[in-house]
Amino acid sequence: MATIRRVGVRSHGADTTDAKRRYHRTMARNSGTGTVAASASAEPDESKSAQTRARILDAAAQVLSVKGYAGLRLTDVAEQADLQAPAIYYYYSSREELIEEVMWVGIADTREKMAAVLDALPPETSAMDRLLAAVEAHLRILLDLSDYGKASIRNAGQVPLEIRKRQILEEERYGEIWRRLFNDLARSGELPDDLDLYIAQMLVIGALNWTLEWWDPRRSSLDTLVANAQSYVRHSLGGSAPPPGGRRRRR
């Protein structure tokens, strides 16, 4: 078994995603004037506007991850971002627009980081070790690196459907990564024949997401949690290879 520890998941704060950077640049150009064209002399203002917008979004992610959809107040976001509350409306037309953006960035950021981790693995990495790398990446993103990920997972069942549409599309793309991991594992012969891959996938992801509610870093380190989660997944999914001609349910 290859050692899968400390995978290269980069911090959200230290490395803002390309999607988020493009979004802020575009919105900074469009805010105020409604035009995309900008002169060279406008670049400093454009950069400042993008930075302020990003600061608001970061603050909203932190507040949403702790207080939830019902508890988020724009005054709390403004205090976290070191702004006056009315200034938020220059960048976001409503509380719901701000929350929608946080929810979308949360899952998009998680998906991009996960894809980067898996793409960086050596080609010879086994299907099981790829899955265990995904387990580690998912936990580190949610518990250590991203308020956006926490906010997105914790509030998925709380926000109205109309502001979850973009997030749902990203969730489907993220789920496809996990579906491929489980199907590859099934093809490798490492899973019992009677295992429903969809149910197995949802059980694993659900268990990982629930750590947001009970894991306490004062009781155990994140490294210890990751190691235990990997061991649990490996032994829970392990089983004899399917018999010749055996059939397994795929999605």
Give the model confidence (pLDDT) of 204-251 as tens digits.
999 999 999 899 999 999 999 999 999 999 999 974 444 444 444 445
What pLDDT score was predicted for residue 158? 87
pTM (predicted TM-score): 0.75
Q: Where are the domains of the chain?
A: 18-237
CA dist., res. 165 & res. 181, Å (int): 25
DSSP 3-state of 7: coil
- Closest C-alpha among 54, 60, 96 to residue 76: 60
The secondary structure of the chain in percent helix, strand, coil, rounded to multiples of 5, reads 70, 0, 30
Give the model confidence (pLDDT) of 64-108 as tens digits.
999 999 999 999 999 999 999 999 999 999 999 999 999 999 899
CATH 3.40.50.920 fits 18-237, yes or no: no
- Is the pLDDT score of 38 beyond 70? no
